[in-house]
Structures are given as C-alpha cells and as structure tokens.
Amino acid sequence: MKLKKLPNSTIIRLSLYSRYLTEVDRKELTLISSLDIAKGIGVNPASVRKDLSYCGDFGTKGVGYNVKDLRNHVIKILGLNSEWNVTLVGLGNLGLALSTYKGFQERGFVINRIFDTDSSKIGSISNGIQVFPAEQMVDILREKPSDIGIICVPMSVAQATADALVKSGIKAILNFAPVSLKVPPEVSLRNVDLAVNLEILTFNLSIEELTDSLIARSF
Amino acid sequence: MKLKKLPNSTIIRLSLYSRYLTEVDRKELTLISSLDIAKGIGVNPASVRKDLSYCGDFGTKGVGYNVKDLRNHVIKILGLNSEWNVTLVGLGNLGLALSTYKGFQERGFVINRIFDTDSSKIGSISNGIQVFPAEQMVDILREKPSDIGIICVPMSVAQATADALVKSGIKAILNFAPVSLKVPPEVSLRNVDLAVNLEILTFNLSIEELTDSLIARSF
C-alpha cells in the first residue's frame, strides 16, 4: 500500500508530536501513551491514535509507545532526519527576519544563500549568509542546487521569482508574497498567509456574540 | 444549540472561502455551487459542504449558494466585519516586517501601536505607527485598549510581555516567539511556528522515499 498524501492538518500534528516527543525523550522517559501525547499537546486522543497509526507499529496495547522509536520515525516521516538547503529570495524586512529565525535551523532548515536585486545588499554577508544578485540565481542554483526556496519579494515580482526558482531545479517553494503562484505539479508550493492566524483568534473572539445566530446543523 | 468551537482546520478553510468568495463576488457572479468552491480553492467538496453547513441556510439544493450572502456570513463568522485594534510588541526584523504586512490591513487588522524597549526606536514613527516604551504598555493599553497583541520579542522576555498584555486587558495574543506561553483561559492565544510550513513541504519531498517503509493501516 502506497501512502501518497496526508492532510496538512495531520502533518501539522505530526510536527507537534515530534517536538513533544523530543522534549519527553530529553527527560529520559521511555514509554508514552497516546492519551499522554494528546494531553501534552492539547489534541483529541482519537486523532493522536489515528495519526500515529500512519507511523507504523511502535505502540503496544496497554503499554504505550516507545518514545525514542516513535520520535525518530515521526522525524523521518517529516523529512527532518537530514538537513535541507534553503535559498531565500528578497532581503526586505521579512527576509531579514526569516534569515535569522532560529526555528528554521533547529529543525534542519539551513538558509545558505540569499538573493536580492538591491545593489547595496549584494555581496554583503547577512547573518553569515552571502547575498547574491537575483539575476544570477538560476546559474548559481544550477551549479549548487537548493532543496527549498523561500519567496519574500514584493507581490509584483513573486511569479517571476517562482519561475526562476523552478528553472533552477528547486523542488519546493514557501511563498510569503500575498499572491497565488503557478508552479509545475512536480514542485511543492506552500503559501503562508500570516493574517489567517489573526483570523483564528478573531473567530474565537467573535464566537460568543455569534453562536445564537448560527444554525449549527451537522455536529 | 450553541456553537462553541470549530477546529482550526475548519476556520482556516472558512478563511480561504471568504477570500475566494470575495473574488467571485467582484466578478459579479451571484450563485456558486459547493463543487465550484471546492475546485476553486483545492479542497474536498464534502468538506466544503460540511463547513458551509455551519454557516446557516444559504444554499438551495441544485441551485447553489448566494455568493454575496455566503461571503458576508463567512466574513461575519470570522469576525472580519469590523476592524480590530492590534498592538505589536517588539520592533526587531520580524516586528518591522509585520508592521508593514499588507495582508493584515486588508483583512481589518490595524496595527496602531508598537512597543519596544530600545530607546533609539521609542518616540519614532514606524510606517505611520507610533513606537512607545514597553514599560508604559500596561498604562497606555488600559487607557486605550487593543483587541489583539502580537508578540515579536526575544524568547527570554516573551512570557513577561504576555503577562503585561494580559494585565492591560488584551483579549487575544498572537505569539511569534518560539516559546510556549501561559495565559489565563479567557485570553485566546495562538503560537506561530514558521518552521511548520517548511515541514509540510519536506514531508511532501520525503514521502516518495518513505512510502514503501510505511505501514499505512487506517486509511
């Protein structure tokens, strides 16, 4: 049986499990139940059991999961057992923030090349990472390929940037520009819309007023 | 019946629907089927129908949904029919990037106050927003309350910042510091971990190699 795809919500939970299991493993605990994992990260226990069933046979009924084995397998599924070469395009405020974001390095995402069009930035070293001219991106990446490209350029040049990344042989793109990009099907694309996070909060703030006017039919 | 909570994955989809329906409404289309919405944003049609059932009775079988009514209701559910006052704490690279992030303003999130401890930044106007000293935050926000606080401070002072925001009467916090914060249950908290987005991409990149070793039991 081939596992083609998991829903993003499952992958996000797997990501949470891996962080939690890493913490538990550091405390030198060897066994953990799905209920403890569920409590630890605030997820429904049935979801945890279902998610972990994708991870193979690491649980023993009534005993629990082997922490180290489960953690290592979740890490492997998420592709975090190796380092990923990341190229960042656009060294504006957001690019600068991402290039110093500790959370990336910790999880094996190493930004080792930055491209920009601003001649005052090109040639400089930003937080230990060299900044190259954007017009040389395709040539440079063809010679030394990157796995993932992060797009932090203005909306107007985001598609051209994506096209250049694709031409250079990149396999995955994380797009922070607020515009829908077109890439070939073999390239993984993820758009980050930071406003969605605020919308989740305002949904929670609004819900009290709204509940009475809502017709909640299919719960 | 009281609608207490929806899963975050549903809220994220509602957010996508609202953007898509706004686009469709601009094209002056009046009716849309759940199948078209599903195709338009790349979501499973059954999920769309289920999600929209939370939104009340805007669909007519065999005819579809009234675009304008459905859009307005989804916007209302997400709490986006009014403006939200947002306070940003920490004007480092990420804070600077967020203070100019167009996606917030567009969805009704208005950052109208920034706090920082750096005396060289205090008193200045950053992108039209005044920067105040962090130690005055509680007093200033008590006088002119904000709805949402965004934390972009270093990890070491994130909890103290959250405590001050809570003390000032904030209702919701969006935390970009890579640390778990404790807030009272009446305050909504959302942690943004930007690395998770990369993990969703690497999961997709890794899956081909992994599928054969995976035991996919409960699909």
Cβ neighbours of residue A139 under 8 Å, at least 6 residues apart? none
Q: Which residues of B touch A214 (CB under 8 A)?
A: 3, 54-56, 77
List the beta strands (DSSP E) in A35-142: 59-60, 64-66, 84-89, 109-116, 125-126, 129-133
pLDDT mean over B68-83: 88
Query: Given this model, what pLDDT does residue B11 score?
Result: 85
pLDDT mean over B52-81: 82
Average pLDDT over chain B reads 85
Between CA B120 and CA B219 the distance in angstroms is 57
Asked if the C-beta of B100 comes within 8 angstroms of chain A's C-beta atoms, the answer is yes
Token pair belonging to A6: 């998991």
Query: Given this model, what pLDDT does residue A211 score?
Result: 46
Query: Given this model, what pLDDT does residue B58 score?
Result: 62
Asked if the C-beta of A75 comes within 8 angstroms of chain B's C-beta atoms, the answer is no
pLDDT in tens, B85-122: 999 999 998 999 999 888 888 888 999 999 999 999 99
Tell me which residue in B3, B190, B205 faces A207 most closely, judged by beta carbons. Answer: B3
Q: Which residues of A touch B69 (CB under 8 A)?
A: none
Q: Which is nearest to B37 in space by CA: B72, B76, B70?
A: B70
Q: Which is nearest to B81 in space by CA: B90, B71, B89, B91?
A: B71
Contact B93 A96 (CB under 8 A): yes
Tell me which residue in B103, B148, B195 faces A104 most closely, judged by beta carbons. Answer: B195
ipTM score here?
Answer: 0.77
Q: Which is nearest to B111 in space by CA: B135, B95, B94?
A: B95
Q: Please state the separation of Cα B97 from the chain's center in Å.
A: 16
Q: What is the pLDDT along chain A (219 residues), one digit of tens a residue?
A: 345 577 777 888 888 898 889 889 888 889 999 889 888 887 888 888 888 887 666 667 777 888 999 999 888 888 888 899 999 999 998 999 999 888 888 888 999 999 999 999 998 888 889 999 999 999 999 999 999 999 999 989 999 999 999 999 999 999 998 788 889 999 999 988 888 888 888 887 776 554 434 433 323
Checking B166-170 for CB contacts under 8 A at 24+ apart, the result is B167/B138, B168/B137, B168/B138, B168/B140, B168/B141, B168/B142, B169/B141, B169/B142, B169/B145, B170/B87, B170/B141, B170/B145, B170/B146
Tell me the CB-side half-sphere exposure of residue A22, using CA atoms within 13 A.
12
**What's the gap in Å between the CA of A214 and the closest CA on chain B?**
6
Query: Given this model, what pLDDT does residue B189 score?
Result: 92
Asked if the C-beta of A29 comes within 8 angstroms of chain B's C-beta atoms, the answer is no
- Give the residues across from B150 on adjacent strands: B88, B174
Q: Which residue of A has its CA nearest to B200?
A: A11
Token pair belonging to A23: 């913490």
pLDDT at residue B148 tops 80: yes
Q: Which residues of B touch A196 (CB under 8 A)?
A: 12, 15
Between CA A212 and CA A209 the distance in angstroms is 7
* φ, ψ (nearest 5 deg) of residue A204: -65, -35
Residue B212 pLDDT grade (very low, low, confident, very high; cuts 50, 70, 90): very low
Between CA A90 and CA A82 the distance in angstroms is 26
Beta-carbon count within 10 A of B51 CB: 22
List for chain A the helix, strand, coil content (%; round to 5): 45, 20, 35
Query: Given this model, what pLDDT does residue B200 score?
Result: 84
Query: Given this model, what pLDDT does residue A90 score?
Result: 96
Distances in Å between the Cα of A45 and the Cα atoms of A24, A42, A199, B190 are: 17, 9, 26, 21
DSSP B115-148: EES-TTTTT-EETTEEEEEGGGHHHHHHHS--SE
Query: CA triplet A1, A58, A84: central angle to 5 degrees?
Result: 75
Residues 108-137, chain B, touching A (beta carbon < 8 A): 109
Query: What's the pTM value of the predicted model, to 2 decimals?
Result: 0.76
Query: Given this model, what pLDDT does residue B203 score?
Result: 81
Q: How many CB pairs under 8 A join A and B?
A: 220
Contact A172, B204 (CB under 8 A): yes
pLDDT in tens, B153-163: 998 999 999 99
Query: Roughly what angle, to the nearest 10 degrees, separates helices B8-26 and A195-210?
Result: 100
Cβ neighbours of residue A62 under 8 Å, at least 6 residues apart? none
Q: Please state the separation of Cα B172 from the chain's center in Å.
A: 11
Asked if the C-beta of B192 comes within 8 angstroms of chain A's C-beta atoms, the answer is yes
Handedness of CA B121, B126, B128, B134 (dihedral sign): negative
**What's the gap in Å between the CA of A153 and the closest CA on chain B?**
12
Cβ neighbours of residue A142 under 8 Å, at least 6 residues apart? A168, A169
Secondary element (H or E) of residue A34: helix A34-41
Contact A190 B201 (CB under 8 A): yes
Q: Which is nearest to A76 in space by CA: B203, B197, B218?
A: B203
Per-residue burial over A167-194, b if 16 or more Cβ lie within 10 Å, else e, is ebebbbbbbbbbeebebeeebbbbbbbb
Query: Given this model, what pLDDT does residue B214 score?
Result: 42
Secondary element (H or E) of residue B163: helix B158-167
Per-residue burial over B98-135, b if 16 or more Cβ lie within 10 Å, else e, is bbbbebbeebbbebebbbbeeeebbeeebeebebbebe
The residue of B204, B205, B211, B219 whose CB has the most chain A CBs within 10 angstroms, and thus the best one to mutate to test that interface, is B204
| DSSP one-letter code for B27 | T
Tell me which residue in B11, B192, B205 faces A79 most closely, judged by beta carbons. Answer: B205
pLDDT at residue B2 tops 70: no
Contact A8, B189 (CB under 8 A): no
Contact A210 B57 (CB under 8 A): no
Contact B9 A9 (CB under 8 A): yes
Contact B219 A1 (CB under 8 A): yes
Query: Dihedral (C-alpha) A166, A169, A175, A180: value to the nearest 10 degrees?
Result: 20
The residue of A94, A202, A208, A212 whose CB has the most chain B CBs within 10 angstroms, and thus the best one to mutate to test that interface, is A202
List for chain B the helix, strand, coil content (%; round to 5): 45, 20, 35
Asked if the C-beta of A100 comes within 8 angstroms of chain B's C-beta atoms, the answer is yes
Asked if the C-beta of A182 comes within 8 angstroms of chain B's C-beta atoms, the answer is no
